[in-house]
Amino acid sequence: MAINVNAVYKTVLLILNQQQRGLMTPDEFNKVSTQVQLNIFERYEDDLNQMYRVPQNNTEYANRVKNIEDNLQYFQRTGSTTYVPANANFTLNPGTTPFNDEAGAANVTDLIYRLGSVYYQGSQISQYAQRQEITQLLLSPLTQPTTSFPIYLYENNSLFVYPTTIINSVGQLVTFSYLKTPANVVWGYGVGDLGQFEYNESLSVNFELNVSEQSNVIIRVLAYAGVIINDPTIIQVASQEIQQEEQNSKT
């Protein structure tokens, strides 16, 4: 379940206005929220790498590796490829994500954040090679790739699969998994009769993060808000909360 952008914005405004500290405009909120979501998303990989190196418990809801993987599953996708004979490569065709689930708007093509695994006829191609390795592998009869043991090169957002007899002539023979880049957060609005901002759900894009991250999102947005309205108190309190949250998650 995604985090509702309107709930976050209302909470942020409530905290800021409670002590008459200033206003965060929708445009400022949208830019900050997009950056906050990206920061949290990019942290998952480092956290997961760190958690793999420490012992984990077997409880159902407190296994940290499992919880991080659960957060990442919102961004995991599978894409197809198109073979380009002129270049002897496969261009990547990522999937799509609804622009606005609640409003039922059209889908938007994903941006690939990180390539995952590459598959040939449904089986993973386990060997990834660098450009300088390809020539050496192809020259030796012992290491030449076959359709049973293919290899691939990922370069300039394209796949080069060997042996070159592998093409998408019939069906989708080469597919891939990937992490999508989070969509920009948008608190959509119109202007009321009194000049006030009025929430418009059909123009909005929610956070794509797990709802368990809502408190974390609000704290981080408030930290940026403190910079925007030049309030050191908000910056200090929010920064302390972020630091404490990060410490608790890794100890």
Q: What is the pLDDT of residues 200-250, one digit of tens each?
A: 999 999 999 999 999 999 999 988 887 765 566 656 655 666 666 665 555
C-alpha triplet 189, 191, 195: angle, nearest 5°: 140
pLDDT at 63: 81
pLDDT at 229: 54
Q: Report how far residue 159's alpha carbon sits from residue 81's, in angstroms, rounded to the nearest whole number.
A: 9
pLDDT at 101: 59
pLDDT at 113: 95
Tell me the residue length of the chain.
251
Distances (CA, A) of 22 to 25, 34, 199: 10, 21, 19
Q: Report how far residue 176's alpha carbon sits from residue 220's, in angstroms, rounded to the nearest whole number.
A: 33
Instruction: State which amino acid sits at residue 63.
Output: N
pTM over 0.75: yes
Q: Answer for the pair 112, 96: CB distance below 8 angstroms, yes or no.
A: no
In the block, residue with structure tokens 């961004």: 75
**Residue ranges of the chain whose pLDDT lies below 70:** 1, 18-22, 101-105, 168-172, 228-251
Q: Answer for the pair 65, 48: CB distance below 8 angstroms, yes or no.
A: yes
pLDDT at 120: 92
